[in-house]
Amino acid sequence: MNFYALSLWLIGPLLEALILARGIQTGWFPKYRAFSAYVCCVLIQDLLFLGVYFLRFNDYGWIYWWGELFSVAFGIGVTWEIFGLILGPYSGAGRMARNVLGVVIVMTFSANLAAAWSSQLLPSGTVVELERNLRVMQALSLLVLAALATYYRIPIGRNAKGMFGGYGIFIGTSVITLTLRSSLGESFQRAWVSAQPLCYVLTLVIWSAFLWKYEPVPAVDVRPRIEEDYRLLALITKKRVLQARAILGKATRP
């Protein structure tokens, strides 16, 4: 292993420990439970991988991939926590997100089932493709959340923004590198060994910056409303926008 790869590998656990220490010191550690559990899990995993790499190198390959699947499972908890933090106070938008995600998950599973049925998965690349598919589902979930948060102008708060941004960027880079790894095979291995840890260190830097202090999601006035008002609101909005279009139409027609 060269100096660059070893440095990246050692920086990871140091940043993870720093993030956890700041979480305990500033008080967000018990509040963001799934995220804290994920960082703890990844820290233990990194230390384990270091030990296995130097002491039992022959077993490193299969331990690494099963460890990755384990961290994907914990990562689903992080995704869930991010959704809860951002959409928690907005029940309507949260319900919309669940509906859209349900459709996305069903479509993704169907596509994977069809691919497995037609035996497109090669035995040697099965774990890589499995992790890639799980990361794709997470990526789609996060895109749906980003779209809804942008459309409804939902305030996010610094901590949630850091978790969302850092984890999302990590998922995005994982999707790209795992796709290339599964398509190009061993020829991409060298680039992958350099790129993947670098992307993860970038994620840790983002988390360190945005989670340095405890800053919860800003409270906004979400007084309970009479639910029947929603249809009226939507109809009035539609009518007003149609009126605006009609005015535009008058400009072009005598």
Partner 1 sequence: MLILIALGILLIAVLARMLWQSEPKAKDLQLDCSREATARFHCLQEHDRIVERIFGDEDWNFLRHRVPSEIRRSFLKQRREMAFCWLTLIRVKAKGVMHHHLAYARSFQSLEPVLECKVAINYLAFQLSCALLAGLLWLRGPVALRGTVVRAHELCERLRALTEVRWDQTLAARQRS
Touching partner 1, residues 98-137 (CB under 8 A): 99-100, 132, 136
CB of 196 to partner 1, least distance (A): 13
Residue from 3, 55, 186, 251 binding partner 1 (CB under 8 A)? 251
Closer to partner 1 by Cβ: residue 7 or 243: 243
**Whether 131 contacts 192, CB under 8 Å:** no
Q: Which amino acid is at 4?
A: Y
User: Which residue from 109, 215, 95, 93 is spatially nearest to 147, judged by alpha carbons?
Assistant: 93
CB of 38 to partner 1, least distance (A): 17
CB of 138 to partner 1, least distance (A): 9
Q: Give me the residue label for tokens 């804290």.
A: 36
Binding to partner 1, residues 30-69 (CB under 8 A): none
Closer to partner 1 by Cβ: residue 55 or 226: 226
**Which residues lie below 8 Å from residue 90, measured CB to CB, with a gap of 6+?**
152, 154, 222
Residue from 63, 96, 121, 198 binding partner 1 (CB under 8 A)? 96
- Total number of residues binding partner 1 (CB under 8 A)? 71
Closer to partner 1 by Cβ: residue 15 or 175: 175
Binding to partner 1, residues 165-184 (CB under 8 A): 165, 168-169, 171-176, 179-180, 183
Contact between 186 and partner 1 by CB under 8 A: the answer reads no
CB of 151 to partner 1, least distance (A): 7
Residue from 90, 188, 212, 214 binding partner 1 (CB under 8 A)? 90
Closer to partner 1 by Cβ: residue 5 or 233: 233
Residue from 142, 159, 181, 200 binding partner 1 (CB under 8 A)? 142
Alpha-carbon distance of 193 to 21, in angstroms, equals 28
Residue from 56, 152, 191, 194 binding partner 1 (CB under 8 A)? 152
Binding to partner 1, residues 190-249 (CB under 8 A): 206, 210, 218, 220-223, 225, 227-231, 233-234, 237-238, 240-245, 247-249
- Please give, one letter per residue, the 3-state secondary structure of the chain: CCHHHHHHHHHHHHHHHHHHHHHHHHCCCCCCHHHHHHHHHHHHHHHHHHHHHHHCHHHHHHHHHHHHHHHHHHHHHHHHHHHHHHHCCCHHHHHHHHHHHHHHHHHHHHHHHHHHHCCCCCHHHHHHHHHHHHHHHHHHHHHHHHHHHHHCCCCCCHHHHHHHHHHHHHHHHHHHHHHHHHHHHHHHHHHHHHHHHHHHHHHHHHHHHHCCCCCCCCCCCCCCCCCCHHHHHHHHHHHHHHHHHHHHHHHHCC
Closer to partner 1 by Cβ: residue 190 or 223: 223
CB of 211 to partner 1, least distance (A): 13
